[in-house]
A = this chain, B = another copy of it.
Amino acid sequence: VYGAYNDPDRSEKPLMPATRKTRAPAAAGKAAPRPYHHGNLRQALIDAAVQLAGEGGPEHVTVREAARRAGVSPGAPFRHFPSREALLTAVAEEAMQRFRAEIAHSLDGREAEPPLQRLRALGAAFLHWALRNPTHFRIISSRHLIDFDGSAVLRRDNLEVRRLSESLLQEAQGAGQMQAAELPLLALTTRALVYGLARMEIDGQLPQWDVPGPAEPLLLAAMELFVGMLELPSAAG
C-alpha cells in the first residue's frame, strides 16, 4: 500500500535487468587467471543489496535477487555472507559510515560557535541524512534487521556520533549556558528527540499530524524548539 518509497539512496546505476553480465566471451584473453567472475563478488552483492534497499525498503532485499544482479547462482552469496542478515549488516556498515561522516562534517568550521549552536547543526545534519536516506536509516537503526553487536565498525561509528553530541552538551554545561541535569540523561533525551522526529517521518506518521508542508522544516523547528529549551534564559538571544 505504501508503495515504492522513492528512496534517493539509490546510486546512479541504472536498474539492470536480471540478466547475466554480457561480456566478450573469449576476446583478447591472455589466459589471465581471472577468478571466476568480475573480481569482487562480495562488494558486488553489497552494491546490489544497497540498490534493492533503495528500491523497496529492507524487506525488499533478497539474497537471491542480489545474486541475480551480480550475475551469480543463488548459492554463491553464501560463500561471502553466512546469512541474509549478514548481508544486510554489511549494507548497514556502509550506510553508518556515510552517516557518521556527514554528521561529523556538519561541524567543520564551526569551532568558534557556541556549543548549543553546534548542537543545532548536528541535529540538522542527523535529520537531513535520515530524510534523504530513509531505508538506510531504518537498516542502521533497528537491531531486528542486522547483527549490530557483531560488527565492530558499526559499534565504533555509532559511538562516535553519540560522543559528538555528548561533548557538545558537556561544553554547554561547562560554559554555564544550559540547564543543569545529569549529562548521560540529557544526552539520551536529546538523542531520543531527534531519533523520534526522524522515525515519525520514516515510519509514515507525519501525515497523521496535520503537517501542511514538507517534513524537514517542521522537524528542524521541533529540534530547535528543544535546543531552545535547553538554553538558559540568560544565554538566549
Interface residues of A (CB under 8 A from B): 1-2, 57, 59, 85, 141-144, 147-150, 155, 158-159, 162, 179, 181, 184-189, 191-197, 199-200, 203-205, 207-210, 218, 221-222, 225-226, 229-230
Cα distance A221–B182 in the bound complex, in angstroms: 11
26 A–B contact pairs at CB < 8 A? A1-B85, A2-B144, A141-B203, A143-B203, A143-B204, A144-B203, A159-B208, A162-B208, A184-B210, A185-B221, A185-B222, A185-B225, A188-B200, A188-B209, A188-B222, A189-B193, A191-B209, A192-B197, A193-B226, A194-B196, A195-B199, A195-B205, A196-B197, A199-B199, A229-B229, A229-B230
Contacting residues, chain B, for A143 (C-beta < 8 A): 2, 203-205
Cα distance A203–B92 in the bound complex, in angstroms: 15
Contacting residues, chain B, for A2 (C-beta < 8 A): 143-144
Cα distance A59–B85 in the bound complex, in angstroms: 13
Say whether chain A's binding surface is mostly helix, strand, loop, or mixed.
Answer: helix
Given A57-B144, A203-B142, A204-B144, check contact A192 B188 (CB 8 Å).
no
| Cβ-closest chain B residue relative to A189 | B222
A135 CB to nearest chain B CB (Å): 10
Given A192-B222, A222-B185, check contact A229 B179 (CB 8 Å).
yes
Cα distance A192–B197 in the bound complex, in angstroms: 5
| Cβ-closest chain B residue relative to A187 | B209
Given A158-B208, A197-B192, check contact A1 B222 (CB 8 Å).
no
Contacting residues, chain B, for A187 (C-beta < 8 A): 209
Contact call A225/B155, Cβ cutoff below 8 A? no
Contacting residues, chain B, for A194 (C-beta < 8 A): 196
- 8 tightest A-B CB contacts, nearest first: A196-B196, A143-B204, A192-B196, A189-B222, A195-B196, A229-B229, A1-B147, A192-B197
| Cβ-closest chain B residue relative to A146 | B1
